[in-house]
Structure 1
Amino acid sequence: MTQHSETMLQETASQATTSPEKTQPVNVAILGAGDIAHAMATTLNGMLADERYAGLVRPYAVATRNSKERAQEFANKYGIPVAYGSYEQLYEDPQVDLVYIATPHALHADQAIACMKHGKAVLVEKSFTANAQQARRVLEVSRDTGQACVEAIWTRFMPSRKKLVELIDSGVIGEVTDVSANLSYPLEHKARIMDPQMAGGALLDVGVYTINFIDMMTPDYHLDRLNSVASFTSTGVDQQSTTAMWRSKPGKPTVMATATSSTLSVGTRRGMVMGTKGYMIVTNINNPEKVDIYNNQHQLTDSITLNEGQITGYEYQVVEAAKARMNGEIEAPSMPHADTLRVMEIMDSIREQWGEVYPFER
């Protein structure tokens, strides 16, 4: 393990220290039982067994929409004490501190609001909501109730983000001029992806990562304009798209950024940050594995591993959401509400250019 990786682990462990406000572990409930819910259950059990996170959280409950049997099956698999066959039963349980919302995009807003009005903090899977209007409504309830509300866009919370920004700030590639990001998976076998009523399509599911990557690599830059094109599935949701964004910051060159996503192809998952002295290539923007640094002669000068020591990668967002709950804060430092809303507004602008409107938005 590198010295940098050891430092990152120490920082993450220090973040998990419990506060005076709550000495007991944060009881985490999972809303939904799909693929991403299984990943979170695996993460929570991994955190229980990891001394860095000892005493911070515990998996407490799982709820499905209308199947106690399915919920119990999930609970048995992961050793979760409580299983509910309806979301309402979970809302009413006073022992739940933090709810991880793992349902389709179109359901996030109402579910997050219900949880917060019942005194629970929420960690809401990406995309946070289906559109910015819903996001504003959710964030308003967070402010009104004082409940923590965090978007679970895991790449924002990973130690790799800090390392990549440090490399850019070091000047190793000079001034940033171009950023590109691709994330594409064959996903059209999934019903929710093809369903307009569930805010399906590539943009909110995988495209959101490309936009977040660009946003993270150009922090404090202003979006001046964007142009976007897309193709659509037979059900009318976006299938493949490319978006060009021009981003500016006083005293810096204007950055040309390109985001590409698809539910049809096997993509490169690659992120690139290009500058006046060289460039960086990030392997897998969805869970950064390494970054290769090249000089102006296209020679590889360094290769840095980025994901050493992680359980699944989801643990970092859990730490920040749990700490927010414990400390009485309504947002997490790695993904504050302003950042969540800004990304949602960008995706609204992209869909507006395409003319893509979900049925419930009409």
Structure 2
Amino acid sequence: MESKRIKWGIVGLGNIAAKFASDLLLVENAQLNAVASRDIEKANEFAEKYNALKAYDSYDSLFEDPEVEIVYIATPHNSHVELSIKALEKGKHVLCEKPMALSYKDAQRIIEASKKYNKFFMEAFWTRFIPSVQDVLEKINSGVIGDVNYINADFAFHGSETENKRLFDKELGGGALFDIGVYPLFLSYIILGKPKEILAKAIKHKNDIDLQTSMILQYESGQSVLHASIVSESEMKAVVSGTKGRIELNAPWYVADGYTLFKNEEKEAVVTLPTLGIGYSHEIIECQNCILNNQIESKLWSHQNCLDLSRIVEEIKMQIGLNFF
């Protein structure tokens, strides 16, 4: 017997939505039912390209579609809270692009709505589900590199104010921290948990968003040195060091196709674990499995995980004097 098809809707049809939709086509029992953009022409083009059955010129219309079961929200950061809550109210499950909210308080509101309406919600931290990260976590948890005492990770690229307007737009929640800084913070959190202390410094744009932010997370017996920038490039490797060895995730580490394990400064293993498609497919599969099992959260990236990370980001936001509102 063929297993149940999960019917998806996508709101906000920019670059990330296009990547997501291309991966959705690779996932068994996933169907793109509807897409929505304020520009109907754009919605129709997107629908045709990615085999969506319907195109809408408003997000509300998609939320009202009785056939859509789960909505992927890929709009700019500043609209995530309102749209996630609205979709949950309308009885839809939600996968919301990161960051789910620009404040801890708003992140709490979304989680409360998920519980109130008994609908699945997950922040779209696709990196959590890619095979190499899953395998690295397993290795770390089984003690292969001993006790982790140092993590070094960054996410940096040279953005342009003309080509990447959204990144530099304060009203849309732009800047390095919320757009890409959440990735290295996420890596530190899934390996070492909540830090005891955080130190953060930023270089700001004239409109007050952060162009680059450096962060040190202090733990009982370890530290994470992390960096995010939208004005400079980096190698984008991630190194996790322990008392018995270290693991280097291939660049770009947030979608690594493998890693290298070192013991006594010598390569012990080179592991290759490619993603299915671009890599979004793994979080899509996780969402579908949770929905089919009547879960309102993922065990791998739970409501509490979302809130913990949001609180860490909030502390850094305060330290660097970032204020969107």
TM-score normalised per structure 2: 0.95
Q: Is there any run of 5+ residues in structure 1 with no aligned partner, and where?
A: 1-16, 48-52, 249-253
Query: How far, CA to CA, are the matches of 1:294 and 1:358 in structure 2?
Result: 43
Paired residue for 1:319?
285
Q: 1:276 to 1:341 in 2, by over 3 A?
A: same
Greater alpha carbon shift after TM alignment, 107-116 vs 23-32:
23-32
* Residue correspondence of structure 1 range 76-155 to structure 2 within 5 A: 76-155=48-127
Paired residues of 2:128 and 2:134 also in contact (CA < 8 A): no
Runs (4+) of structure 1 moved beyond 4 Å? none
- Is the 1:210–1:285 Cα contact (8 Å) retained in structure 2? no
Give yes or no for contact 1:213–1:285 (8 Å, CA) kept in 2: no
| 1:182 counterpart residue number | 154
**2:171 aligns to what SS in structure 1?**
helix
Is 1:161–2:126 an aligned residue pair? no
Distance 2:269 2:131 in 1: 18
Q: Which residue in 1 is equivalent to 2:13?
A: 33
TM-align CA RMSD: 1.6
Q: Would you say the 8 A contact 1:164–1:217 is kept in 2?
A: no
Greater mean alpha carbon deviation, residues 221-230 or residues 99-108: 221-230
Corresponding position: 1:207 with 2:174: no
Kindly indicate whether residue 282 of structure 2 is the aligned counterpart of residue 282 of structure 1. no
**SS of alignment partner, residue 232 of structure 2:** coil
How far residue 110 of structure 1 moved from its aligned partner, in angstroms, is 0.4
1:57 maps to a residue whose letter is: A
* Kept after mapping to 1: 8 A contact 2:132/2:259: no
Instruction: Give, as a single letter, the amino acid of the residue that structure 2 aligns with 1:358.
Output: F
Instruction: Tell me the SS of whatever aligns to 1:197.
Output: coil
* Cα drift, residue 222 of structure 1: 3.7
Output the amino acid matched with 1:258: V
Equivalent residues of 2:34, 2:53 under 8 A apart? yes
- The Cα shift of 1:350 comes to 0.3
1:46 aligns with 2:26: yes
| Contact persistence 2:194–2:308 (CA under 8 A) | no
Q: Give unpaired runs (5+ residues) of structure 2.
A: none
Q: Measure the CA separation in 1 of the matches of 2:237 and 2:68.
A: 38
Deviations 1:193-242 (A, max 9, x none): 11111111011111111011111222xx4410010000012321111111
Matched residue type, 1:127: P
Report % sequence identity. 30
Could you tell me the TM-score, scaled by structure 1's length?
A: 0.85
Counterpart CA distance in 2 for 1:217 and 1:337 is 17
Which of the residues 222, 228, 232 maps onto 1:255?
A: 222
Question: Distance between the aligned counterparts of 1:144 and 1:276, measured in 2?
Answer: 44
Name the SS of the counterpart of 1:342 in structure 2.
helix
The Cα of 1:138 is off from its aligned counterpart by 0.6
State the match for 1:267 in structure 2: 234
Q: What code does the residue aligned with 1:274 have? A: S
The aligned residue for residue 59 of structure 1 is: 32
- Supply the AA of the counterpart residue of 1:216: I
Paired residue for 1:301, among 264, 268, 289?
Answer: 268
Counterpart AA for 1:32:
G
Q: Which moved more, 1:109-118 or 1:323-332?
A: 323-332
